[in-house]
């Protein structure tokens, strides 16, 4: 384990997330259940069917199918739209999860062409969609765009995109891995957002903090092949209840806290933006997450964060990413831990960070001489 990871582990206060992932979370979710509660059985049974219905109702769609993962659910929904539209092409942002984190699964497992929309340093716009040079079956929109620090289009922009796609017979799919997290910003119900989309994917382990699992929702007729594809992928497990029980528990527990997480993120971003050499993306967060970009190399930032941890006991992050030889960033996700950090200690940490960053200019420059 690196010195940085060790220091992170040893720090008494972590600012981000809900705390370490442990088996205790599942023990707690199962604790109140009657041991004789029947397991789901290959997609049937009250435990899966009722949760699917609950999630379909939550997003205002007719039908929902529970999947082990969003990777599986989203490759499948794009294939379903291609089949339904008799068109082998889809479009999404170049930083989509499908391009970044899935080892090119969509490209390897399906005869689907992908067009990218916009650039990797900004959200795509309706103009980018209008400029598509060929027909697409479906456009995937990720709300928020995680790899842009969780940026969001406005509701007006989404409505214009939805209208355009309806007019041009392009299906619109919502990558709502963090949909729960953006509801406080949009300040409308989930169905009001999801009615702009033909299909929706939800995840239960990001802001909600469940063990794993995903739901895909849409019209009942459209959703029928989802279970066939789920079986083809090996996702139609004899029982998915461990994830469903945890998803349901986390949904009940943390959905009401999304506004609090969002406000915490805004406070945190404001603290970061008062430091030298730093800026957050977005400057004002629109959900529970944002990115901190630093004009210093990853190693320098880690050294500074270790010093902050040792002086104040506060761990601001456990993972720094290099952007270039001279710049880096880290992701901040506010959750249940933030209120456990004493405000005076947090203020001390940001004062320490400021001080070290002022010194870090020299250090950062030195390391490149």
Stretch that binds a copy of itself, among 72-80, 265-273, 341-349, 357-365 (CB under 8 A): 72-80
Residue 231 interacts with a copy of itself (CB under 8 A): yes or no: yes
- Please identify which residue in 188, 228, 284, 323 interacts with a copy of itself, judged by CB under 8 A: 228
Residue 234 interacts with a copy of itself (CB under 8 A): yes or no: yes
Residue 1 interacts with a copy of itself (CB under 8 A): yes or no: no
Residue 103 interacts with a copy of itself (CB under 8 A): yes or no: yes
Residue 283 interacts with a copy of itself (CB under 8 A): yes or no: no
Nearest distance from C-beta of residue 281 to a copy of itself, angstroms: 24
- Please identify which residue in 20, 191, 276, 339 interacts with a copy of itself, judged by CB under 8 A: 20
Q: Can you tell me the distance from the alpha carbon of 345 to that of 348, in angstroms, rounded to the nearest whole number?
A: 5
Q: Can you tell me the distance from the alpha carbon of 204 to that of 30, in angstroms, rounded to the nearest whole number?
A: 16
Residue 155 interacts with a copy of itself (CB under 8 A): yes or no: no
Q: Can you tell me the distance from the alpha carbon of 364 to that of 256, in angstroms, rounded to the nearest whole number?
A: 42
Which residues, 6+ apart, have CB-to-CB distance to 75 below 8 Å?
A: 98, 102, 105, 106, 109, 110, 233
Residue 256 interacts with a copy of itself (CB under 8 A): yes or no: no
Q: Can you tell me the distance from the alpha carbon of 278 to that of 296, in angstroms, rounded to the nearest whole number?
A: 9
Q: Can you tell me the distance from the alpha carbon of 26 to that of 23, in angstroms, rounded to the nearest whole number?
A: 6
- Please identify which residue in 235, 285, 297, 335 interacts with a copy of itself, judged by CB under 8 A: 235
CB 17 within 8 A of CB 335: yes
Q: Can you tell me the distance from the alpha carbon of 273 to that of 258, in angstroms, rounded to the nearest whole number?
A: 22
**Among residues 244, 178, 250, which one has the least CA distance to residue 208?**
250
**Among residues 51, 102, 49, 52, which one has the least CA distance to residue 78?**
102
Residue 30 interacts with a copy of itself (CB under 8 A): yes or no: yes
Nearest distance from C-beta of residue 79 to a copy of itself, angstroms: 9
204: left (phi over 0), alpha (psi -120 to 50) or beta: alpha
Residue 100 interacts with a copy of itself (CB under 8 A): yes or no: no
Nearest distance from C-beta of residue 348 to a copy of itself, angstroms: 28
Name which of 19 and 60 has its Cβ closer to a copy of itself: 19
- Please identify which residue in 57, 115, 132, 237 interacts with a copy of itself, judged by CB under 8 A: 237
Residue 351 interacts with a copy of itself (CB under 8 A): yes or no: no
Instruction: Report the Cα–Cα distance between both ends of the chain, in Å, rounded.
Output: 29
Chain contacts with a copy of itself (rule: CB under 8 A): 20-28, 30-31, 33-39, 41, 47, 67-73, 75, 101-105, 108-110, 205, 211-212, 228-229, 231-243, 245
């Amino acid at each position: 384990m690196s010195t940085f990871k060790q220091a992170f582990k040893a720090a008494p206060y972590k600012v981000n997330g809900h705390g370490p992932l442990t088996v205790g979370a599942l023990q707690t979710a199962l604790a109140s259940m009657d041991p004789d509660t029947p397991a789901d059985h290959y997609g049937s049974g009250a435990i899966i069917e009722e949760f699917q219905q609950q999630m379909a109702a939550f997003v205002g769609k007719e039908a929902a199918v529970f999947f082990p993962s969003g990777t599986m659910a989203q490759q499948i929904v794009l294939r379903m739209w291609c089949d339904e539209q008799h068109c082998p092409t889809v479009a999404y942002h170049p930083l989509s999860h499908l391009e970044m984190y899935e080892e090119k699964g969509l490209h390897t497992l399906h005869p689907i062409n992908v067009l990218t929309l916009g650039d990797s340093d900004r959200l795509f716009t309706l103009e980018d969609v209008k400029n598509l040079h060929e027909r697409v079956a479906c456009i995937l929109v990720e709300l928020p765009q995680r790899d842009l620090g969780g940026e969001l289009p406005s509701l007006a922009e989404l409505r214009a995109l939805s209208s355009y796609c309806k007019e041009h017979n392009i299906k619109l799919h919502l990558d709502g891995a963090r949909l729960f997290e953006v509801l406080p910003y949009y300040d409308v119900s989930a169905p009001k957002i999801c009615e702009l989309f033909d299909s929706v994917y939800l995840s239960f382990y990001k802001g909600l903090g469940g063990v794993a699992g995903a739901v895909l929702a849409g019209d009942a007729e459209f959703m029928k092949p989802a279970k066939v594809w789920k079986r083809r992928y090996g996702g139609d497990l004899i029982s998915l209840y461990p994830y469903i029980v945890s998803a349901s528990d986390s949904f009940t527990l943390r959905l009401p806290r999304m506004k609090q997480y969002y406000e915490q993120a805004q406070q945190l971003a404001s603290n970061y933006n008062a430091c030298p050499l730093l800026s957050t993306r977005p400057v004002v967060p629109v959900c529970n997450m944002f990115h901190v970009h630093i004009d210093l190399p990853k190693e320098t930032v880690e050294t500074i964060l270790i010093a902050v941890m040792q002086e104040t006991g506060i761990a601001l992050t456990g993972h720094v990413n290099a952007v270039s030889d001279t710049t880096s960033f880290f992701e901040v996700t506010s959750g249940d831990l933030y209120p456990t950090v004493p405000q005076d200690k947090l203020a001390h940490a940001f004062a320490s960070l400021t001080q070290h960053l002022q010194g870090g200019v020299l250090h950062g420059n030195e390391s490149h001489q």
